[in-house]
Structure 1
Amino acid sequence: MAGLLLTLCVAGCNSKTETSQTQDQKPAAADSTSKPVEENRKKTILFFGNSLTAGYGLDPAEAFPALVGEKAKTAGFDYQVVNAGVSGETTAGGKSRISWVLNKPVDVFVLELGANDGLRGIPLDDSKKNLQAILDTVKLKSPQAQIVIAGMHIPPNLGPDYSGQFYRIFIDLSRKNKAALIPFLLDDVAGIPKLNQADGIHPTAEGHKIVAENVWKVLEPVLQKQQL
């Protein structure tokens, strides 16, 4: 999977590239026949989410973004996959880091955030506004990007009204932003002990395989559309 999965460094990364040029060296003349950099760059799918995207407790190669990348490659789609998942991330946290995550153009943006808001009982209006702010930033920085939103259900601990309205957020955002919707990211995984780690929340490697299938069902038509 070398070269296919690019995992973003969230903290503690510090790299420098130093270049020097002697007086005898001159910049190479531009090739008038070469294509613009934008046309030559490899297309990118960026997964922006929390611990589910990051693959909590697993090797990044076992997390669903990497598995989806393999499916895309097998299907003949030439995309690089960027895993921008951060464990514990809330919609507010995502809103604060989205600008620097999008330091380069992306072609498909998969938004997987909100579950931690729901588990903490954060006001629904706040979560919805944060998610919309993230999508607005995507549209501004990568207007060509196709957006995919991962729907999420939460346990009814805070009451059926809260949990029902929570899920409605993803439907409303997908319609407002003309985005593809994954109905429920953890479909056929949530609540099944053998497919989840000991905490009962994070999928095992086998669980991530099913999550990847859930994502691929929605993502494949998006990639096909981009090829037209």
Structure 2
Amino acid sequence: MLLNRGLVIFSVALLLWAIWAAQPASAAQVVAIGASNTIGAGQGRHHGGVVPSEAWPAQLEQLLHAHGTNVQVKNAGLAGDTTCNMLSRLDGELGPDTKVVIIQPGGNDAWKGGCASSPRQNVMQMVQRLRSRHIKSILLLRIGAIAGKSNLEVDGQHFNKAGHAAIAAWLLPKVAAALR
């Protein structure tokens, strides 16, 4: 009788373990923080661009999935954002599964101002904060050279869908390597 009871308990435990092990692993998270060219479009006088579902973070997520990577790319872009504000909201954009953050500083600091520290200092503080949390960072600078001037919208500051696709394709090997 004791042997049967022990066998039943062992069988139930084995079944529960098998059910738990079969659950898909939670997706790693990549956070894309930046301004209008991250969210997809500008605002006010500079409203060109694409909808968020066509912006480079969404296209990057599709490319990563096509390469078999279980990942969610969170678009934390905000039109008109400055590096000072990105730094202040960084922690709130991170989730428990965040492995990589792509920082796209943009050019709003130059015309908005309002921050005591320089854009370079703000970006370096973001990188240091992420490093202290064991989160990798990728700096997305000079996106015009990546996306191509022929992919600029008529406002001259934001990119069309093809420009966003070029940015996503450029980021793909860097993000894939950072997730390993």
Distance 1:191 1:94 in 2: 26
Equivalent of 1:130, from 122, 125, 128? 122
1:41 deviates by 3.0
Stretch moving more, 74-83 or 128-137 = 128-137
Does 2:176 align with 1:186? no
C-alpha distance in structure 1 between counterparts of 2:74 and 2:172, whole Å: 16
Aligned-partner Cα distance in 1 for 2:145–2:118 = 25
After TM superposition, the structure 1 = structure 2 runs for residues 122-161 of structure 1, keeping only pairs within 5 Å, are 126-140=118-132, 142-143=133-134, 145-152=135-142
Structure 2 counterpart SS, 1:187? helix
1:88 Cα deviation (Å)?
0.7
Taking structure 2 as the reference length, the TM-score comes to 0.73
Q: Please give the per-residue CA displacement for 1:36-63, whole angstroms capped at 9, x wherever unaligned.
A: xxx9532111111111110114221110
**1:48 is matched with which residue?**
33
Does the 8 Å CA contact 1:190/1:201 hold for their aligned counterparts?
no
> Structure 2 vs 1, CA of residues 118 and 87 (structure 1 numbering), >3 Å: closer, same or farther?
same
Instruction: Identify if the C-alpha distance between structure 1 residues 139 and 121 changes in structure 2 by more than 3 Å, giving closer, same or farther.
Output: same
CA distance in 1 between counterparts of 2:112 and 2:149 reads: 19
How far the C-alpha of 1:76 sits from its partner, in A, is 0.8
User: Following TM superposition, by how much is the alpha carbon of 1:123 offset from its aligned partner in structure 2, in angstroms?
Assistant: 8.9
Closer, same or farther: CA 217–205 of 1 in aligned 2, 3 Å: same
The residue correspondences of 1:60-99 to structure 2 (distance < 5 A) are 60-99=52-91
Q: Say which structure is richer in strand.
A: 2
Q: CA deviation at 1:103?
A: 4.4
Q: CA deviation at 1:117?
A: 2.0
Q: What is the aligned partner in structure 2 of residue 178 from structure 1?
A: none
For 1:102, the aligned partner's letter is L
Gap regions ≥5 residues in structure 2: 1-15, 42-48
Q: Following the alignment from structure 2 to structure 1, what is the Cα–Cα distance between the partners of residues 152 and 136? A: 30
- The CA deviation at 1:201 is 0.7
Structure with bigger helix share is 2
Partner of residue 160, structure 2 = 204
Offset at residue 188 of structure 1 (A): 4.8
Quick one: distance in 1 between partners of 2:120 and 2:69?
A: 32
Query: How many residues were matched structurally?
Result: 155
Alignment check: 8 A CA contact 1:186 1:211 kept: no
Check conservation: 2:27, 2:97, Cα contact below 8 A: no
Change (3 A) 1:106 1:208: same
Contiguous gaps of at least 5 residues in structure 1: 1-31, 153-184
**Which among 87, 110, 113 is matched to residue 105 of structure 2?**
113
1:222 matched residue in structure 2? 178
- Percent identity over the alignment? 23
Larger radius of gyration: 2
SS at match of 1:83: strand
